[in-house]
Amino acid sequence: MVGQTLIDMAKPLYFVTAKLLGNKATETTLLSQAPELKETVDKIYHKIIERQQFYYGKQK
């Protein structure tokens, strides 16, 4: 029970990592993402990009 809870808590981070990597291998991972996680994953992704731009400047 606790193991499944931890897996469920880590899923959004797993999908965000796949989105950040953005290669062919992670495309299938993103396709398996549950629709109810999309909003959460997008929020985390945009926050990471925002912080990246703040600390490192805009990427060319």
Residue 47 belongs to domain spanning: 2-56
Region 15-21: mean pLDDT is 94
Enumerate residues 6+ apart whose C-beta is below 8 A from 44: 12, 13, 16
Q: Which one has a higher pLDDT value, 60 or 18?
A: 18
Using a CB cutoff of 8 Å and minimum separation of 24, what contacts does 20-26 make? Answer: 20/45, 20/48
Answering whether pTM is above 0.85, one says: no
| Domain count along the chain | 1
